[in-house]
Structure 1
Amino acid sequence: MNAPWNPARAATRDPFVAFVCDESTAEALRPIVDEMGWQPEKVNRGGLRNAVQTLSVSASPNILFVDLSESGDPLNDINSLAEVCEPGTIVIAAGQVNDVRLYRDLVASGIQDYLLKPLHPEQIRESLSQAQATLNAPRVSDSASVERPHCAIAVVGARGGVGASMLSTSLAWLLSNGSRRTTALLDLDVHFGTGALSLDLEPGRGLTDAIENPSRIDGLFIERAMVRASDMLAVLSAEAPINAPIITDGAAFHQLQEEMRGAFECTVVDLPRSMLVNHPHLLSDIQIAVVVTDFTLAAARDTIRILSWFKSNAPATRVILVANRVQQPALQEISRKDFEGSIERKIDVAIPFDPKVAAQAAKLGKSLAEAAKGNKAFAPLNDLAAQLAACAGDDPVADRKGKGRKSPAGGGNGESLLGKLGTIGAKLAAKKKTQ
């Protein structure tokens, strides 16, 4: 379950082990175990407490049967069991409490089934057969990865307030809802992330738990920690206390990306720009980086710097430049043409600013893309999502070379950005006079 995977123990795993509280349960279990081709001697006495003690020093079996009859807090004790069970262990629990809520909570915590005592042979046989079928079944992610390779996308804001988090949430929703791809939204702004908030969800402690204990991160941890926004979209966000600094080398973030790669078809990472400085290795497996900006002087300066960073540190990552919250030319600090001239690159996608739609999305707890559904003005957002959905089949390096774009760094001659913009404006004015 949650214990770190130990390759040395993998070859010594038993197919089945049970820990029961009474002899009547053991007697009901042993004939079925023998019928399944397993060793009846693996049915041990001692219940959950013995299971935790034994598995803390020995390999976990493929299928574990545990009796909760003597447990005062079954749900909490199952979580203790998860700490010592290695990944891939299928757990079947039995107990005397006939409570639908307990059953649902236990299944949600990661166990395969909960059987009510006294046990009947057919009940035991059916549960063990289902566990064995689950163990032998091919993983969905393995078959899906052949047909639809994983697509990893990072959304980075050139400046705070340009709407990068809004865009990452919208893209995740569009990829899951429109393209019907299982999608994970990973919000790495640990203290002030809005990934869950914008979808009207409680973020939980999953992300902070992962940072505090990276060794716990596995497929089951991902399943438990992520909050479901829909059948196709899951979110991992956080609202860590602002008096608790996050001290990490980034290993947990990288491990989360690896586990999401195996569990989802798409991963959208809302990546604060400070991560480029502190944890550049997070971009190693990112196929596409969406850099979000607006038409301001400060954003132009930082767009130049970020594009230059990607060219030097992540040359294999395809960069898509998105201008967000685009207003009428008269209301913009810098015109689009002057902005593109200063960064020596074209804007790939321009998304309009509509305060009414944005306010409606916030009120309803929906992504901007969902709130703007059917609004033709936001067609560029849908086009961007469709482009990202096809990213797995692209060759980012070849694509970038084929376009023959100029160096995104710009300004290599030492000219200031204001001076550069002024020069561009003067050239445009002179051109108008000659016409």
Structure 2
Amino acid sequence: MNAPFQARAGLRDPFTAFVCDDATADMLRPVAVEHGWSPEKVNKGGLRNAVQSLSVSASPNILFVDLSESADPLNDINALAEVCEPGTIVIAAGTVNDVRLYRDLVVSGIHDYLLKPFTVDQLRDTFAHAQMTLSGPRGEAQADKPHVMAAVIGVRGGVGASTIATSLAWMFGEKARRSTALLDLDVHFGTGALALDLEPGRGLTDAIENPSRIDGLFIERAMVRANERLSVLSAEAPIHQPLVTDGTAFFQLQEEMRNTFESTVLDLPRHMLIQYPHLVHDAHVAAVVAELTLAGTRDTIRILAWLKSNAPQTKVIVVANAVPSGGALEISRKDFEQSIERNVDVVFPFDAKVAAQAAKLGKPMAEVASGKLAAPFNTLSGMVLNHASEEGSAPEAAGSAGGKSLVDNLKSMLAKPKGKAA
């Protein structure tokens, strides 16, 4: 129960209590008011009422629970743990004066155990210590890790942008030790949850249909946990249901994720970029995933020009994905870089075996890859975090290709002899 959780403390109710008698309730209420908590959060019913209530509502930051009517306190606390979300600080009170029980309760996750009858000063001291525990290390961690938002944009369908977005989110969680949200905005055909062997749930479609519901509690309940540090919001909306939204839901989701997680990765299809340009406005970094083909080159030029005009504050990283070995390229890397008028930052080699293995295991490629294939994932993750941490520096040039430059570059490549195209 005291384990760290991605959601930040301010998104929950600060305090709730469940007590067995009026005397305890009367002592708790004025102390709650001293801390700025509502006295109405002191409820009657003890542990049984606590379990029932928390099974249908979010846990508070600090939970006070009375075990006086419990015949088996330790077993009942375990029942509470099943409905109590990680990160909640639990303070118990009871009438059993047994040091072994105290130790067992602490091991099970209880922050402190008060023996009844206790004094107001004891109660104040316990709450003060609980608040220090809640705000101290957690607050320092947030200060050390300001939020990072990265958008991953594929210049064409099938270039592997979703694969890279999933792996980048996994890298943030596992390697950078950041609480991370993966927001897959391909509402009908998204693969964010599928790639991690998860059921997407209805969280994203519910958010689109009811933007007013989006808040911290909604995020906690709608996100699907992939592991301790990575949560996913994805969808498999029926293909007969068109996406009808003005984009408000996406803006609110980004805002809540910024408050809840230390990192957000947006898997951003290019058609969503066009329809809802504000999606990339708050992104520190945009990773543009391309293929070394004629069509891929054209679309890379267009998207880089769009980013330069519409999101000049966003750092741009150009990623060449699934590059085959042996020089079997439709367009060489040199020609590609000349056409987009900037260098490729990260190159991912093509490896069908690792891609198939990752798909079968339901794991991101970054987790399965090793050796040379793992290196680009480390490079990309490091570049995103480094770019995001740079403050006040000029944005990465997104390339000035467009108009006549686009036409001239493509004509130049088409005019080359076939043997020299690779």
TM-score category (smaller protein): 0.7 to 0.9
Does 2:328 correspond to 1:331?
A: yes
Does 2:163 correspond to 1:166?
A: yes
CA distance 1:16–1:333, change in 2 (3 Å): closer
Does 2:38 correspond to 1:61?
A: yes
| In 2: Cα distance, 1:391 partner to 1:62 partner | 46
CA distance 1:16–1:171, change in 2 (3 Å): closer
Does 2:368 correspond to 1:394?
A: no
Aligned counterpart, 1:103? 80
Paired amino acid for 1:412: K
Aligned counterpart, 1:344? 341
Contact 2:17/2:64 (8 A) holds in 1: no
Paired amino acid for 1:154: A
CA distance 1:370–1:124, change in 2 (3 Å): farther
- How far residue 211 of structure 1 moved from its aligned partner, in angstroms, is 2.4
Paired amino acid for 1:33: L
SS in 2 for 1:350: strand
Does 2:150 correspond to 1:122?
A: no
SS in 2 for 1:382: helix
The match for 1:420 among 394, 409, 412 is 412
- How far residue 283 of structure 1 moved from its aligned partner, in angstroms, is 1.4
TM-score, normalised on structure 1?
A: 0.73
Aligned counterpart, 1:377? 373
Paired amino acid for 1:103: L
CA distance 1:105–1:204, change in 2 (3 Å): farther
Does 2:205 correspond to 1:203?
A: no
- How far residue 426 of structure 1 moved from its aligned partner, in angstroms, is 5.9
Aligned counterpart, 1:322? 319
SS in 2 for 1:390: helix
- How far residue 157 of structure 1 moved from its aligned partner, in angstroms, is 0.5
The match for 1:312 among 306, 309, 313 is 309
Alignment of 1:149-160 (within 5 A): 149-160=146-157
Paired amino acid for 2:325: Q
| In 2: Cα distance, 1:387 partner to 1:189 partner | 25
CA distance 1:396–1:292, change in 2 (3 Å): farther
| In 1: Cα distance, 2:328 partner to 2:14 partner | 68
Contact 2:31/2:124 (8 A) holds in 1: no
Aligned counterpart, 1:52? none
Paired amino acid for 2:185: L
Paired amino acid for 2:141: A
- How far residue 135 of structure 1 moved from its aligned partner, in angstroms, is 5.3
What runs of 5+ residues in structure 1 fail to find an aligned partner?
1-13, 40-58, 431-435
| In 2: Cα distance, 1:72 partner to 1:62 partner | 17
CA distance 1:107–1:123, change in 2 (3 Å): farther
The match for 1:289 among 286, 291, 294 is 286
What runs of 5+ residues in structure 2 fail to find an aligned partner?
1-12, 98-113
SS in 1 for 2:157: coil
Percent of matched pairs sharing the same residue: 49
| In 2: Cα distance, 1:114 partner to 1:241 partner | 46
TM-score, normalised on structure 2?
A: 0.75
Alignment of 1:239-250 (within 5 A): 239-250=236-247
1:88-116 residue CA offsets vs partner (Å, 9 max, x unmatched): 78666779898678534531499866989
The match for 1:359 among 356, 361, 368 is 356
| In 1: Cα distance, 2:374 partner to 2:81 partner | 41
| In 2: Cα distance, 1:377 partner to 1:162 partner | 17
| In 1: Cα distance, 2:363 partner to 2:123 partner | 40
Aligned counterpart, 1:37? 31
Q: CA RMSD in A?
A: 4.1
Aligned counterpart, 1:234? 231
Does 2:22 correspond to 1:27?
A: yes
| In 1: Cα distance, 2:324 partner to 2:14 partner | 63
Contact 2:18/2:43 (8 A) holds in 1: yes
